Amino acid sequence: MSDWARTRRVPCRVVLSADEPLAGDLHLQPLGAPEHPLETPLEMLNRPERFFALAVDDDVRLLSKDAVRAVSVEPDHLESHPLAHRVEVHLRTDDGIDYRGAVEIELAPPANRPLDFLNQPEPFFALQSDDRSWCLNRHRVLWVRPL
C-alpha cells in the first residue's frame, strides 16, 4: 500500500520561476518522533530530494525545488523557535517581488548575524509575518535588508 494516504495535506501557494503560481496541497510525512511528530513544509523543502508533490485540484504536479521561488503557508504550519534571535527583514526575489517579515536565527554568536543565516547550506529558509509564512529559496533571493 502506498504511503500517499498517510501524508498530512497542507494548503499552500507555490510561486515558480517560469510559470503561474499554483495553489494546492503539500503532502508532508508523519515523522513519528515524540518530540517532532509532524514534518513541516520547510523540512520537506530542505530534504535532499529534488522534486516534491503538490496536489492541485484532482491532479498531482511533481515540482522541481530548484524552480520554486516561494511557498506560502498559514503561519501555524511552520515551527516557531522561541529561543531564536528574531530579525525583521525586507527582501526581494529574482522576480521583483518584495517580502517583509521575520527570520529566526538559531546560530551561536558570533555567527548569528543575518549574513551568517543567509549563508547556511539549506536551500530554503522561513520568513514569517503575522498573517502568512513563506519558505523562500535562498538561490532566488536578490537582496536582503535587515530592518
What confidence tens digit (pLDDT) does each residue in 17-75 have? 998 999 999 999 887 556 666 889 999 999 999 999 999 999 999 999 999 999 999 98
Evaluate if residue 108 carries a pLDDT over 90.
no
Co-location of 112 and 52 in the same domain: no
| pTM for this predicted structure | 0.89
Co-location of 139 and 93 in the same domain: yes
- Determine the Cα angle at 63 with ends 70 and 11, to 5°: 60
Co-location of 139 and 99 in the same domain: yes
Number of domains in the chain: 2
Co-location of 58 and 38 in the same domain: yes
Cell of 146: 535587515
Which whole-number Å values give the CA distances from 124 to 46, 100, 135, 138, in the listed order? 6, 16, 6, 6
Evaluate if residue 3 carries a pLDDT over 60.
no
**Containing domain of residue 142, as a range?**
76-146
Co-location of 61 and 91 in the same domain: no
Co-location of 109 and 138 in the same domain: yes
Co-location of 85 and 131 in the same domain: yes
> What whole-number distance in Å separates Cα of residue 104 and Cα of residue 74?
17
Evaluate if residue 1 carries a pLDDT over 50.
no
> What residues form DSSP beta bridges with 135?
71, 126
Question: 133-137 and 85-93 as β-strands: parallel, antiparallel, unpaired?
Answer: unpaired
Co-location of 8 and 60 in the same domain: yes
Cell of 108: 551561536
Cell 528574531, residue? Answer: 86
End-to-end Cα separation, the chain, in angstroms: 50
Q: Tell me the mean pLDDT in the region 7-19.
A: 93
Last residue of a domain, one of 68, 85, 106: 68
> What whole-number distance in Å separates Cα of residue 21 and Cα of residue 14?
5
> What whole-number distance in Å separates Cα of residue 97 and Cα of residue 102?
16
Last residue of a domain, one of 35, 50, 68: 68
